[in-house]
């Protein structure tokens, strides 16, 4: 099988592991920068041109598209889909998951628990917004933030007002969320492949840090999810139509609460924490579905 990994950095751990596992199983693997692809739109013959050739021989793709190139990256994935190429992350599903507001609206309608959340169009009534989520402290998130960037903990009403006014002044759209105290700076990441959880870890923020992202110095350990946590992760993946994804959630006094769903989850942290071969699970998923 000819597999293409859409990635801008061939040296990343996740990209290298996917290459390694696909090669072990006898597949031909190629790493292609999606920004260097030309999309050829022609009647009944959609194609992609890359460097010196047409990519008309590809059987499956693995999108590893960063948030900063979502628009063009998804256009490339969509073109492959029009060419009949299998993808582990459909273009529409990636777009949905990258829009925090849109994905939370869809997940909320599906009955998935999450922290109380408010989105407002540059509201001046900050006190009302804070009251909607149960008072301070509150979490304020940029809609486009990733890896913990653009996420602020406002511990007082005055701090929340200052942060919201600053974002409003920049015309940056944000959501305000309830702060889950009992989570104690930790969250859970479940890695879903083909609708099943294949690995899970608990990420703990470093001392004094409310964000648990490994990129920000957090630590991770393997965890066995309970039935409610497993069901939440699998349901969230199904609702957003992402057969392969990372589902982040908090442990709270009222059960697991969803934070977000990542359409291109990193493999380094979860493989190290769980000692499970997640990359192999992704390749075998492609094999089953491509056949």
What is the pLDDT of the chain when averaged over all its residues? 89
Does one domain contain both 197 and 246?
yes
Does one domain contain both 33 and 79?
yes
Give pLDDT tens digits for 262-277: 999 999 999 999 999 9
User: Is the pLDDT confidence value at 215 over 80?
Assistant: no
User: CA 194, 195, 198, 199: dihedral to nearest 10 degrees?
Assistant: 130
Residue 131: predicted pLDDT: 87
Does one domain contain both 221 and 142?
no
Phi/psi at 70 (nearest 5 deg)? Answer: -55, -45
Q: Where a domain ends, among 179, 198, 213?
A: 179
The total domain count for the chain is 3
Enclosing domain of residue 165: 117-179
Q: Taking residues 58-75, report their average pLDDT.
A: 95
Domain of 246, CATH number, reads 3.30.470.20
Q: Taking residues 196-206, report their average pLDDT.
A: 89
In a domain, 288, yes or no: no
Confidence label for 113 from pLDDT (cuts 50, 70 and 90): very high
Domain of 84, CATH number, reads 3.40.50.20
User: Is the pLDDT confidence value at 183 over 80?
Assistant: yes
Number of Cβ within 10 Å of residue 212's Cβ equals 26
CB 189 within 8 A of CB 218: no
| CA–CA distances in Å: residue 4 to residues 24, 32, 77, 79, 167 | 15, 7, 11, 13, 39
User: Is the pLDDT confidence value at 245 over 70?
Assistant: yes
The percentage of the chain sitting over the pLDDT mark of 70, rounded to a whole number, equals 91
pTM: 0.87
Domain of 155, CATH number, reads 3.30.1490.20
Does one domain contain both 175 and 193?
no
| CA–CA distances in Å: residue 107 to residues 69, 267, 268 | 24, 24, 27
């Amino acid at each position: 099988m000819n597999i293409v990994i859409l990635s801008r950095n061939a040296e990343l751990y996740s990209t290298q592991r996917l290459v390694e596992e696909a090669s072990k199983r006898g597949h031909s693997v190629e790493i292609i920068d999606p920004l260097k692809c030309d999309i050829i739109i022609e009647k009944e013959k959609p194609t992609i041109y890359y460097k010196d050739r047409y990519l008309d021989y590809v059987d499956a793709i693995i999108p590893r598209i960063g948030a900063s190139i979502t628009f063009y990256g998804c256009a490339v994935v969509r073109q492959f889909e029009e060419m009949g190429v299998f993808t582990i992350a459909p273009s529409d599903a990636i777009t949905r998951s990258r829009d925090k507001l849109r994905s939370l609206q869809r997940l909320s309608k599906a009955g998935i628990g999450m922290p109380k959340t408010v989105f407002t169009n540059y509201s001046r009534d900050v006190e009302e917004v804070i009251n909607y989520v149960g008072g301070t402290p509150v979490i304020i998130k940029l809609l486009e933030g990733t890896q913990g960037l653009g996420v602020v903990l406002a511990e007082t009403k005055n701090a929340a007002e200052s942060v919201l006014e600053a974002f409003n002044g920049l015309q940056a759209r944000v959501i305000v969320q309830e702060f889950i105290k009992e989570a104690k700076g930790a969250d859970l990441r479940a890695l879903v492949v083909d609708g099943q959880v294949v690995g899970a870890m608990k990420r703990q923020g470093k001392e004094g840090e409310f964000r648990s992202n490994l990129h920000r110095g957090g630590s991770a350990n393997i965890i066995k999810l309970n039935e409610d946590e497993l069901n939440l992760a699998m349901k969230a993946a199904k609702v957003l139509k992402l057969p392969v994804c990372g589902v982040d959630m908090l442990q709270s006094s009222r059960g697991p609460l969803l934070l977000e769903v990542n359409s291109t989850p990193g493999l380094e942290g979860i493989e190290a924490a769980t000692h499970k071969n997640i990359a192999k699970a992704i390749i075998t998923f492609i094999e089953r579905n491509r056949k």
